[in-house]
Amino acid sequence: MEKPLVGIIMGSDSDLPVMQEAAKILEEFGIDFELTIVSAHRTPERMFDYAKNCDKRGIEVIIAGAGGAAHLPGMVASITPLPVIGVPVKTSSLEGMDSLLSIVQMPPGVPVATVAINNAKNAGILAAEILGIKYPEIKKKVAEYKEKMKKEVEEKAARMENIGYREYLKEREVNN
């Protein structure tokens, strides 16, 4: 692996099924990343060390996923000068609203960009967009990705308009 540009961290290995989506989209864009567990509550020294030193290792953006109290993104953002993207992970008790509110309610001076509950894919895309400011090849890949999405929607719209919504729904049921 080249020097990673993105650090993907999570409070627990139970967050990995959600956070893998950030890894997958970064792989699609060809962006090197590292992925590890850093618990704000169970390993605060590890969290502090990670946040304090990741920029010295070449990390330029951090994606931090956490559930429940979800302190990881905010605590990391309070230590590092790097942009932090928070991913609220859905919990069984409050459907992820606790995580979302914990991450978005940051005090002035400690911003955390926050995506929707369980939407690590968007966190990966946002990280790529941030990196695209500095790296033209990443910006180009993000633009191509968005153009591909646009074409897919246009093709679906044309198909639905051509065969009608009832037939389109039948086709979707067969294909799913």
100 C-beta neighbours (distance < 10 Å), count: 22
pLDDT band at 2 (very low <50, low <70, confident <90, very high): confident
Tell me if 33 is assigned to some domain.
yes
Answer yes or no: do 124 and 161 share one domain: no
- pLDDT of 121 reads 98
Answer yes or no: do 35 and 102 share one domain: yes
Answer yes or no: do 41 and 111 share one domain: yes
- 61, 64, 66: which is closest to 102 by C-alpha? 66
Answer yes or no: do 120 and 44 share one domain: yes
- pLDDT of 124 reads 98
* Total tally of structural domains belonging to the chain: 2
125 C-beta neighbours (distance < 10 Å), count: 21
DSSP state of 65: E
3-state secondary structure of 141: helix
Ligand-binding annotation for 15, yes or no, is: yes
Question: Which CATH number goes with the domain that contains 14?
Answer: 3.40.50.1970
- State both tokens at 143: 């633009």
Answer yes or no: do 12 and 97 share one domain: yes
- State both tokens at 4: 């990673």
Residue with tokens 């910006």: 139
- pLDDT of 175 reads 87
% of residues, the chain, pLDDT over 70: 99
Answer yes or no: do 73 and 17 share one domain: yes
Q: How far apart are CA 152 and CA 16, in angstroms?
A: 29
Ligand-binding annotation for 12, yes or no, is: yes
Ligand-binding annotation for 92, yes or no, is: no
Answer yes or no: do 144 and 62 share one domain: no
Q: Does the structure show a pLDDT above 70 at 1? A: no
Higher pLDDT, 92 or 36: 36
Answer yes or no: do 158 and 92 share one domain: no
Answer yes or no: do 149 and 110 share one domain: no
Answer yes or no: do 127 and 143 share one domain: no
Answer yes or no: do 63 and 127 share one domain: yes
Tell me if 58 is assigned to some domain.
yes
Residue 96: which domain range? Answer: 6-134
Q: What is the pLDDT of residues 105-152, one digit of tens each?
A: 999 999 999 999 999 999 999 999 999 999 999 999 999 999 999 999
Span 19-48, average pLDDT? 97
Tell me if 1 is assigned to some domain.
no
Answer yes or no: do 64 and 147 share one domain: no
Q: What is the pLDDT of residues 45-74, one digit of tens each?
A: 999 999 999 999 999 999 999 998 899 999
Q: How far apart are CA 130 and CA 142, in angstroms?
A: 10
User: Please, what is the average pLDDT of the chain?
Assistant: 96
3-state secondary structure of 134: coil
- pLDDT of 111 reads 97
